[in-house]
């Protein structure tokens, strides 16, 4: 429907569309062709990964202590067996012979070059391989080339069940209560009985995300479960309605917002399974539903975050976080009595985090100590505390560099193994593995080669596989011992075939932030036909965080989203990790705390201006910006706040006003909502896009899914309403019945984004027809 204020575009499932046209006559514009788009999309094909030879594609430590990995070659995968003691490296089995035997068994031709196996396990003693193919399990005897069906005896559990460590029980939710199922007998036992709607056990609902699986943590000996009862009574709800013929389907769920009087709280409980099931409620006030690593208390698979069992299950340690994340309180509960004692408490001016995507605090039972992570000196470091007194014994790591993840603690040798960034010269986002003694002595870089390192420890932590790369250099894999000594060279990836396919190497860059002092790092993509005498519009990809940046990693990648693909249409694409994103110092991350409307945009502008001085083909009169979710918020903000720099924006599913997004997010990065009674203004006004929508000058395409249960579409509708009131012209695509990522509409959205750039920055017409299959 078209109004005199705006062109509103609604996409239906037939993918018919009324797309707005520029005021310019189409006859004045050059037409891009289907061939142009097709050539560009070749640069985003996953098939490019297949052109990398000698790259490790899977790896597994075997029960006998050896290491099995597969590597990609021009003729298919090869499987290599490595003995870390003897340093011997041999071919585990002949994949061509296996493919031939499998062809005979299945009575169809299977080419070894295209054969992809899953769940591969190998026994050198029996020369036997077990694997999955086509949804079935097989056993291959390499001695006589025979293949038989293989019965997988591992416990079968549904995606909503939590398997106990001993593999005998599976915990799940049914009718607001927690149950367990005996894996062998299928007998089901109810563990809690008073759970009701809005006051239920182990529920996986954080507002912005929700699921049917339980949130809990099994004790090591499988006789106890740590979980909680979520109190959602009185918490406000979020509403979505479907698009269909007839009555729409209402989707409603509890979803607290910043400033709400009632938000989620949890009552911590321990359930005992030795004998008749019983429950112990911890003797403490209810906690806010917060964690120190993410804006949820559920990790992958529903793991209860910030919780740690003692080895014998007699004690449960956990961290209670304040509603605004400024206080982290380490506590220990007696699992039988429910008594809780305080160990230590840390308070910050902004927000406390205990690590990067994983907690770095751990209790040491043998020595009665605690390893604690803190950014109190502006850098993420490890500290040693006395568990009894809560007194600080030692700062273990120190310096202007940041510990990222604590991977292993050896209490016997009193050594810590952790990743960190910024200690070595060069890009601080390159992660290295270090070892240090509990007293802070003997700090060693175990991975000295420059780059981002991926680590895979052996079960006994005596060895590890180190795979490292940079944006420019493809992966190299080596085997090292716990002291960092190289045991064996494994593989060095070869990108000869990739380069021969017109692959374009991204450019890693280092510039200064808006303050002209702070180093920023990013990646730029130039078209293969780039010339310094040419003129290329700039496309700025942005994801402002604050929990992550625009560049998620600085390792090698054959394909990075559609960055190179869209560059091939005639653009220069730039992404940079601005101030306000993690992985550096605390002050770097805190830079725009309390002002999320900043979004790091001034740093993006400073980056583009500096790059343009070196790359003369960049046209700063034609700069576009795009992003999704937080990036949708930021890209729209850029067009409103800097209308003379950014001329075009494509904004997807943005959280344009965090008062309309879940409480945990906004209250962590913006602070608790405060309203001035006299003026009616709030401390959230500086991040609300709709309040500056009247500044729009350029071209804006806003998109959202009508059933987005992560960032509710009301966020975008606030901006749409403000633009209409301001009599601004813009474009809007609403994807009916689609969630946050647009589902089966994703390719369609990619196409429309490309069309928008072509039309409004290249001043050309996109191809009239182009198969979405190419995306």
| pLDDT tens-place string over residues 39-64 | 999 999 999 999 999 999 999 999 99
* pLDDT attached to residue 464: 98
**Calpha distance 217→224 (Å, rounded):** 9
Strand-pair category, 618-628 with 536-541: parallel
**Calpha distance 699→426 (Å, rounded):** 38
* pLDDT attached to residue 20: 37
Is residue 352 within 8 Å of 399, Cβ to Cβ? no
Question: Within 10 A of 143 (CB to CB), how many other CB atoms are there?
Answer: 10
Q: Which stretches of 616-772 are assigned E, i.e. beta strand?
A: 618-628, 648-652, 699-705, 731-735, 764-765
Shortest CA distance to 379 belongs to which of 399, 364, 405, 394? Answer: 399
* pLDDT attached to residue 770: 73
**Calpha distance 512→608 (Å, rounded):** 11
**Calpha distance 577→101 (Å, rounded):** 51
* pLDDT attached to residue 152: 83
Longest dimension (CA), the chain: 86
Q: In this predicted model, what pLDDT tens digit does every residue of 21-37 receive, in sequence order?
A: 333 333 456 899 999 99
**Calpha distance 593→576 (Å, rounded):** 19
Q: Which positions of the chain have pLDDT values less than 70?
A: 1-29, 772, 774
SS3 label, residue 54? coil
**Calpha distance 349→404 (Å, rounded):** 21
Shortest CA distance to 541 belongs to which of 651, 421, 436, 701? Answer: 651
SS3 label, residue 747? helix
648 bridge partner residues: 624, 699
* pLDDT attached to residue 774: 67
Q: How far apart are the first and last CA of the chain?
A: 28
Q: How far is residue 434 from each of residues 399, 406, 440, 647, 742, measured CA to CA in Å?
A: 14, 10, 12, 46, 41
Residue 477's Cα: distance from chain center in Å?
Answer: 24
Shortest CA distance to 668 belongs to which of 291, 355, 377? Answer: 291
* pLDDT attached to residue 155: 87
* pLDDT attached to residue 29: 66
Return all residues near 283 (Cβ < 8 A) that are at least 6 apart.
337, 338, 339, 340
Produce one character per residue of 50-60: b if its CB has 16 or more CB atoms within 10 Å, e if not. Answer: bbbbbbbebbe
List the Cα angle 249/252/257 in 5-degree steps: 145
Tokens of 438: 């509990």
* pLDDT attached to residue 657: 98
Return all residues near 422 (Cβ < 8 A) that are at least 6 apart.
400, 401, 402, 428, 584
CA dihedral 512, 513, 519, 522 (to 10 degrees): -90
Can you tell me which residue has the tokens 């625009």? Answer: 550
Tokens of 356: 């990067």
Tokens of 235: 């918490």
Q: In this predicted model, what pLDDT tens digit does every residue of 464-519 receive, in sequence order?
A: 999 999 999 999 999 999 999 999 999 999 999 999 999 999 999 999 999 999 99
């Amino acid at each position: 429907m078209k109004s005199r204020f705006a062109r509103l575009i609604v996409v239906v499932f037939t993918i018919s569309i009324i797309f707005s046209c520029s005021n310019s006559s189409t006859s004045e514009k050059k037409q891009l062709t289907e061939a142009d788009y097709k050539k560009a999309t070749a640069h985003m094909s996953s098939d490019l990964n297949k052109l990398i030879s000698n790259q490790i594609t899977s790896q597994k430590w075997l029960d006998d202590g050896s290491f099995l990995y597969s590597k990609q070659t021009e003729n298919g995968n090869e499987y290599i067996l490595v003995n870390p003691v003897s340093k011997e490296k041999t071919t585990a089995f002949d994949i061509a012979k296996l493919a031939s035997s499998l062809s005979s068994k299945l009575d169809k031709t299977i080419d070894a070059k295209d054969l992809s196996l899953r769940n591969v396990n190998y026994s050198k003693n029996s020369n036997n391989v077990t694997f999955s193919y086509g949804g079935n399990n097989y056993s291959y005897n390499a001695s006589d080339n025979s293949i038989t069906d293989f019965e997988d005896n591992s416990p079968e559990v549904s995606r909503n069940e939590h398997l106990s460590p001993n593999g005998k029980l599976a915990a799940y939710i049914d009718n607001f209560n927690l149950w367990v199922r005996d894996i062998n007998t299928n007998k089901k036992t109810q563990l809690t009985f008073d759970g009701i709607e809005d006051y239920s056990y182990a529920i996986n609902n954080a507002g912005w995300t929700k699921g049917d699986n339980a949130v809990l943590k099994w004790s090591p000996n499988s006789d106890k479960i740590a979980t909680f009862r979520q109190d959602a009574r009185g918490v406000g709800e979020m509403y979505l309605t479907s698009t269909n013929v007839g009555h729409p389907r209402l989707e409603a769920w509890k979803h607290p917002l910043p400033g709400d009087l009632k938000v989620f709280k949890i009552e911590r409980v321990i359930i005992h399974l030795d004998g008749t099931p019983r429950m112990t409620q911890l003797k403490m006030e209810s906690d806010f539903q917060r964690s120190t690593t993410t804006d949820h208390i559920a990790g992958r698979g529903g793991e209860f975050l910030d919780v740690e069992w003692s080895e014998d299950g007699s004690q449960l340690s956990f961290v209670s976080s304040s509603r605004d994340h400024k206080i982290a309180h380490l506590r220990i509960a007696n699992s039988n009595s429910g008594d809780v004692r305080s160990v230590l408490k840390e308070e910050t001016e902004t927000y406390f985090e205990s690590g990067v995507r994983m907690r770095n605090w751990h209790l040491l039972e043998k020595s009665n100590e605690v390893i604690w992570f803190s950014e109190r000196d502006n850098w993420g470091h490890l500290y040693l505390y006395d568990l009894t007194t809560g007194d600080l014994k030692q700062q273990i790591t120190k310096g202007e560099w940041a510990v990222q993840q604590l991977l292993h603690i050896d209490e016997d040798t009193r050594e810590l193994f952790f990743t960190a960034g910024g200690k070595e010269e060069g890009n601080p986002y390159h992660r290295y593995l270090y070892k240090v003694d509990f007293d802070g002595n003997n700090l060693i870089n175990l991975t000295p080669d420059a780059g981002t390192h991926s680590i895979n420890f052996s079960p006994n932590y005596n060895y590890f596989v180190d795979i490292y790369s940079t944006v420019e250099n493809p992966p190299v894999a080596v085997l090292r011992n716990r002291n960092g000594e190289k045991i064996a060279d494994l593989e060095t990836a070869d990108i000869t075939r990739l380069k021969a396919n017109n692959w374009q190497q991204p450019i890693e860059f280092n510039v200064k932030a808006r303050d002209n002092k702070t180093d920023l790092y990013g990646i730029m993509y130039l078209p293969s036909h780039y010339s310094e005498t040419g003129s290329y519009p700039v496309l700025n990809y942005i994801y402002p965080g604050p929990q992550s940046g625009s560049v998620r990693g600085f390792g090698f990648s054959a394909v990075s989203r559609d960055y190179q693909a869209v560059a091939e249409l005639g653009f220069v694409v730039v992404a940079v990790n601005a101030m306000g994103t993690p992985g550096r110092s605390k002050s770097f991350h805190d830079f725009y705390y309390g002002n999320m409307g900043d979004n790091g945009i001034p740093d993006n502008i400073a980056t583009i201006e500096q790059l343009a001085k070196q790359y003369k083909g960049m046209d700063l009169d034609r700069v576009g910006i795009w992003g999704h979710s937080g990036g949708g918020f930021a890209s729209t903000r850029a067009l409103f706040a800097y209308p003379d720099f950014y001329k075009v924006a494509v904004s997807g599913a943005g959280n344009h006003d965090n008062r309309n997004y879940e409480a945990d997010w906004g209250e962590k990065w913006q602070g608790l909502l405060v309203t001035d009674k006299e003026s009616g203004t709030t401390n959230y006004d500086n991040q609300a896009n709709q309040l500056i929508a009247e500044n729009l000058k350029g071209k804006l395409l806003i998109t959202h899914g009508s059933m987005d249960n992560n960032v509710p579409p009301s966020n975008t509708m606030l901006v749409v309403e403000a633009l209409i009131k301001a009599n601004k012209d813009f474009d809007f695509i609403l994807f009916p019945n689609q969630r946050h990522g647009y589902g089966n509409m994703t390719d369609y959205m990619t196409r429309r984004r490309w069309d928008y750039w072509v039309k409004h920055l290249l001043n050309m017409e996109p191809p009239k027809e182009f198969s979405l299959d190419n995306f």
